[in-house]
Structure formats: structure tokens, C-alpha cells
Chains A and B, each alone.
Chain A
Amino acid sequence: MKRPIKAALVFGATSAIATAYCRILASRGAVLHLVGRDHDALQNLAGDLDLRGATKVSVAVADLCDTEQHKKLVTEGWESLGEPDLALLAHATLGSQSEGETDWKQQRTLIQTNLISPLSLLTLLANRFEQQHSGCLAAISSVAGDRGRPSNYIYGATKAGLSCYLGGLQHRLAATGVRVLDLRLGPVDTPMTAGLSKGLLWSTPERVAHAMDGKLARHHGTVYLPAYWRPIMGVVRVLPDILVQRLGI
């Protein structure tokens, strides 16, 4: 079923990818409810989206790691949007693989932000959408979750967990008319990856948001963004262990 996205609830809205996607929606006159951590940044973003043509933009400030608040946040989202066509989860941190290997606290923070927080939100959102019998539930995951690799398995594990959960949710809700999307992104030039050197396969928030826009209106299931990551990860998944170790990827 194809239904244009006119009302969207966005968690982690000030992240570069969510911002780029919100701008596409705003240019079509969408109604947006933005949830994020920083009040000033959210207000500025609301002003930006308003100028770009959004019909209405409302904001809610919250630390999304605090799962106690999730119920209230979801309720507020429905109150300000009516029946949203889309809920997008875009919050995550990258952490440091090398530091995390010897620092459990850092790993735990990463799991809290990238896995526990989105799973709590997905639980609430899935039930809401199920009652509504329509809508699209999408979360930004990563190709890092496709295979445990020495360069980023801590971050990868949180994303693998998220992707697995989304897969199950998609099948559970298949009959209800609710679409669930697992957006598996390759590396993107954003604040999260500011310290990394960028190679040929890197994308930009604008390009990814544009590709996402094409998928969110009608697809469901696992989507690789940009699309070239599907064949690449197809290969990476079946690489012999010895090669993964040798390449240190």
C-alpha cells in the first residue's frame, strides 16, 4: 500500500540523517513532531523546517536513554500528529571500539543508547500502529550488524540486535497493514563519524535521506542505503573467517 507521508514522528531529529529526511518531508508540507536531546538545536531545526514549508512542527525535549519517559513521549507524538504515517528512530552513538574493548561501562552506554532505548520505543510504537492498522515504523540500523568484525563489533552487535528485532516485528505486523523497515545504512559523513577518514563508499546525509524517501513511502523489510551495500554485505557475510581476520575489516 502506498501512502504519502504527511505526518511523521521523529526520534533523534537533530541527527544529520533525520534532519536531512525531515527537510524532504517539510518541503512537501508535512506535519512533524521532533524528539531530541537539545532544546536549542530542536528549536532551530523547527525554525528551519518551518521555512522549508512544513505545515506544523512541534518539538519534545528528552534524553531517549531514559526509557521511563518513552510512554509519555509516544503519547505526546500521537496527540500532536493525530495518526502519524511514520515513526522514525534515528538516535545512536558510535562509541570507540578500541576503548570499549577494555571498558565495559562504555559498552553498556552504547547498548543503552543503540539497543535498549530503540527496543523500548519500538514496543510502544508497534502497539500503537497495530491499533491504528496503518503507518510505517522505521529505524536506522547499520551494515555493521551484518557480521561481527574486529573493527566495530560492539557497535555492530547493538545494530544486529536492532535489525533482528525489526525483522521479527515486521512479520508480526505484516497482516495489520503496518509496514516495518530496517534501514541498514553504510557509513555516512555525519557528526557521529566526524573523526573517521572518509573513503569512496561513504555517503552523505542528503543522499541517504533521498534514497530513504523512496523506500519509506511503500517498502517494508530490510533496506540497504545506499543500495550498493546489499551486494557488498552479501559478500562480507560469506567471507571465510580467515579472510576477515587477515583483512582486519
Chain B
Amino acid sequence: MDRSTYGWGGVSTGTPAYTFAPTSVRDLKQIFSSGEHKSFLGRGLGRSYGDCALNTDGALIDCRFLNRLLSFDPETGILKCEAGVSILNVNRLLSTTGWMLPVVPGTQWVTIGGAIANDVHGKNHVQEGCFGAHLIALKLARSNGEVFDCSLESNNELFAATIGGLGLTGLILSAKLQLRRIQSLTMKARRIPFDQLSTLFSLADEHFEAWEYHSVWLDPATGCRKGHYIMANHSQRQGNLTWPAKRRIRFGVMAGFPSDLPGRLVMKTGNLWYRRGIRSGAQETTADAVLYPLDRLPDWNALFGKPGFFQHQSVLPTAVAESALDELLSVIETSGQRVLLAVGKWFGPRSSPGLMSFPVPGFSIALDLANHGTKTHKLLDTLDGVVADCGGKLYPAKDARMSPTLFTSGYPKLEQFTQQHDPLFASDFWRRMEQSG
């Protein structure tokens, strides 16, 4: 029987010695005190692309069933919930009250615990910062059975280490979050095609003030030199607050398929459709379409079958962003390999309380690449070189192969973080970083 657990990209796998799904703190303490397990790691909905949520030969704590909302105050917009609650459920259940999460990643299938552990960012980072910037408090269980209430005021070192801490400081049990007010789920969006990278950067400067959400789609068929700049704002007029129930197309069946061809075809069609179908100029759209464009195909990763795929998400510091991006794209061009999907976002100056938070001010580019073995690994290593040279860093949530050196150079507060690390918590990612780091 195959009990392996996969990263979202399908490249990393790891079979835990034991999988356990607690529904209470009591269950959890029992497992911690049993003394039977050499390491622990929490896992949510498994959207980390690489090995961040894998714990080979250790105990994997499936947090999906710690999924209860604890309290919500419609006056202040403060939500308390268990860590396994998904962003989808928060959206669905609370949007009608006129509140939503201020920062969301590109998919709703992420748990609150996962959003904290990776200190996720959204398309509105310039304005709102990271997920952790809106976190008021969290409850953390350590492997010695202790439970800590952490916030900026109490146990603040543990609080800072847990935000973006990749689940290594203990198991996040629950969180207290500040939501934001919305008038409706309608959004006003504007898309501007551009045909060279310099235009892209000047467009950004021009529109930062007036628009909240910014993202960039680069067209792989043009070597990612052309694309669309997409901006959006919440509508200020009162309107529909009910999240739409959309038909979703499922591909779970394809998970073991021997080839990644279906995935490459779907990506190609997607890019083509994007290139042709989109008008420029302001238009009314839904929050769903702006924030979670890929959620219509919930398990699209399965289309890449057994080979899987990589995503290389880096952040390039503002001052050198344009030249570094140009260099990344040139490297890919010379390699002869084709990017499946290229998406960009901007990070602003708002800092997160998290010690290991990914964003620094600059441009963040996510490049999806098919897995062609050594050839692809070589290309990714070269890309890493460009990122390191410009003072950038990679996002662990997306990584399956970065070197410990690049990790250490990108995360200067690593040493401070290590002091808060729960000695019995570990992941495949962490062991990989420790190997020669």
C-alpha cells in the first residue's frame, strides 16, 4: 500500500512513519508524551510545493480536523479559530457579515496554520504586508506538552519565530486574526498589456497609489518579455457578499499518470486563452476571479502526473529588480527550456513580525517549470545564482531543491529563529537545510 505523502509539485515525496489527525489538544498531548516518535510536523492542506510539509520516518500531524471557528465579533472583525480552518471556510462563512481576510494567498485551500507557518503574502502586499501582520495572537503546542499563548506582548519571541517558522516551533493550535471590512465581493480590475519589461516597471510606479492588488502575467511564448499588468480594487459600493458556488473541474484521478503532458497542454491553453481573451481597460469582476484564478481547477497539480513540476519563486530587491528579472529570463532562454507559467507580484516595505518571513521590498517572480530531471535541476541552480547575486531569496513554501547556502543568505535571522525551534519538530525541508548549512 502506498502511503507516501507528496509535496504539491509532485517532485518531493516522503513517507511518514506515522500519520495522526488530532481533534483535540488532549489527543495531541497523548502523542507527544508517548515517546514513540522521533520527530513531529504539522501538515494542513498540502499546498507547499516541495518538502516543507513532509516528515519522512517521523510523525505527521494532519491538522485538517482541528477546524472549528471559536468566536467572531462582527463589530470589531476579530476572528478566533483553530489552525486547521481553511481560508475557503473563513471566506464562505464570514463574507456575509462584511468582513474578509486582509491577506490571502493565490488559493483558498490553505489552512490558517499553514498561512501563519509560511507567513503567506497576497497580491496586495505593498499595501497590507504579510498574513502575519494581521495576526493578533496564536496558541502553540510544544512537543514537551506545554501550550503557549503568543502575541506581540507575551511570548513574543516564540510569536515572531512561529510566523513564517515553517511549522518548526511546535504545532499551531489556534489563531486570533483581524479581518478587514468589505462592501461587496465585486472588484474593479484593470489589465494593461505591456511589450517590454521596462514598461512593466514604470506601470507599477504609476499605479501603486490608486490600486490595491497588483499582479503580472508574463507570456511564456514571448520568453516572458511581454504580458499583462493586472490591478484590482475592492468595490466601494455595497453589493453581493455571498461567495459564489462555482463548478470545479477535478483531476485527482491523474495523480499517478506517467507523463506530465496533460499539465503542459493545459498550461499552454491557459496562457493562450489569457493572451487572447483579455481586454484592457477597467471592468467589474469578482474577488474570486482576481484572488484565486486557479481555484477553478482545484487539483491541477495532478495533471503533471508522476514527473511533477517545479516552481521557482524568488524576490528580487527593488533597486536591482528589473536587471535581475531580465537576467533570469535570459538564463531560461539560453537553456532552451520553456516556462509553463510566470507570475509576478510586488512586495512593499511593510514588515512582518515573523523572523523567517519571505517578502522584502522588491519584485517577486514565480516560474513554473516542467521536471526534465538533471537538465531542469541545472537550470534551477543557475537561476539560484542570479537570485543570490542580486541579494534576493527563495520562498521555502515553493522550494524542493535550493541549497542551504542560499537559504542561509536569504534569511539573516535564522540563528535567532533556531533558538525557538522545538527540538522534536522537523521537516524534510529542514533536514535538507541542516545537511551542510
Contact check, A191 vs B1: say whether CB atoms are below 8 A apart.
no
A38 and B71 CA atoms in complex are apart in Å by 19
Residues of B within 8 A of A45 (CB): 68
A40 and B24 CA atoms in complex are apart in Å by 7
Contact check, B3 vs A47: say whether CB atoms are below 8 A apart.
no
Checking B20, B65, B69, B70 against A190 with a beta-carbon cut-off of 8 angstroms, the contacting residue is B65
Contact with A along B18-32 (1 / 0, CB 8 A): 111111111100000
Checking A38, A51, A191, A195 against B26 with a beta-carbon cut-off of 8 angstroms, the contacting residue is A38
Residues of B within 8 A of A44 (CB): 68, 70, 82
Residues of A within 8 A of B70 (CB): 44, 47-48
Instruction: Decide yes or no whether B245 CB sits under 8 A from chain A.
Output: no
Write the nearest CB–CB distance from A232 to chain B, whole angstroms: 18
Contact with B along A41-81 (1 / 0, CB 8 A): 10011011001100000000000000000000000000000
Residues of A within 8 A of B82 (CB): 44
Instruction: Decide yes or no whether A235 CB sits under 8 A from chain B.
Output: no
Which single residue of chain A is at the shortest CB-CB distance from B62?
A194
Also in contact, A48 and B68, with CB within 8 A (given A41-B23, A41-B24, A200-B253)? yes
A-B contact pairs, 5 of them (CB 8 A): A16-B65, A41-B26, A44-B70, A191-B20, A191-B62
Contact check, B21 vs A191: say whether CB atoms are below 8 A apart.
yes
Instruction: Decide yes or no whether B93 CB sits under 8 A from chain A.
Output: yes
Contact check, B3 vs A191: say whether CB atoms are below 8 A apart.
no
Contact with B along A17-55 (1 / 0, CB 8 A): 001000000000000000000101100110110011000
Residues of A within 8 A of B71 (CB): 47, 51
Instruction: Decide yes or no whether B72 CB sits under 8 A from chain A.
Output: yes
A14 and B24 CA atoms in complex are apart in Å by 9
Instruction: Decide yes or no whether B2 CB sits under 8 A from chain A.
Output: yes
Checking A38, A47, A190 against B21 with a beta-carbon cut-off of 8 angstroms, the contacting residue is A190
Write the nearest CB–CB distance from B202 to chain A, whole angstroms: 47
Name the residue among A16, A40, A45, A51 with the largest chain B CB count within 10 angstroms: A51
Contact check, A40 vs B25: say whether CB atoms are below 8 A apart.
yes
Additional A-B contact list (9), CB under 8 Å, known A40-B25, A45-B68: A16-B65, A38-B23, A41-B24, A44-B70, A47-B71, A48-B69, A51-B71, A51-B72, A194-B62
Residues of A within 8 A of B72 (CB): 51
Instruction: Decide yes or no whether A102 CB sits under 8 A from chain B.
Output: no
A14 and B18 CA atoms in complex are apart in Å by 22
User: CB within 8 Å of A: which residues of B?
Assistant: 1-3, 18-27, 62, 65, 68-72, 82, 93, 253
Interface residues on A, range: 20 to 34
A48 and B69 CA atoms in complex are apart in Å by 5
Write the nearest CB–CB distance from B62 to chain A, whole angstroms: 6
Name the residue among A38, A44, A195 with the largest chain B CB count within 10 angstroms: A44
Instruction: Decide yes or no whether A131 CB sits under 8 A from chain B.
Output: no
Pairs A-B, 3 closest by C-beta atoms:
A41-B24, A191-B21, A48-B68
Residues of B within 8 A of A52 (CB): 69, 93
Instruction: Decide yes or no whether A197 CB sits under 8 A from chain B.
Output: yes
Which single residue of chain A is at the shortest CB-CB distance from B3?
A197
Residues of B within 8 A of A48 (CB): 68-70
Residues of B within 8 A of A51 (CB): 69, 71-72, 93
Residues of B within 8 A of A41 (CB): 23-26
Write the nearest CB–CB distance from A160 to chain B, whole angstroms: 24
Residues of A within 8 A of B22 (CB): 191
Contact check, A194 vs B68: say whether CB atoms are below 8 A apart.
no
Write the nearest CB–CB distance from B419 to chain A, whole angstroms: 30
Residues of A within 8 A of B21 (CB): 190-191, 194
A108 and B431 CA atoms in complex are apart in Å by 41
Residues of A within 8 A of B93 (CB): 51-52
A45 and B69 CA atoms in complex are apart in Å by 8
Which single residue of chain B is at the shortest CB-CB distance from A192?
B21
Residues of A within 8 A of B62 (CB): 191, 194
A196 and B1 CA atoms in complex are apart in Å by 9
Write the nearest CB–CB distance from A94 to chain B, whole angstroms: 12
A191 and B67 CA atoms in complex are apart in Å by 12
Residues of A within 8 A of B18 (CB): 195
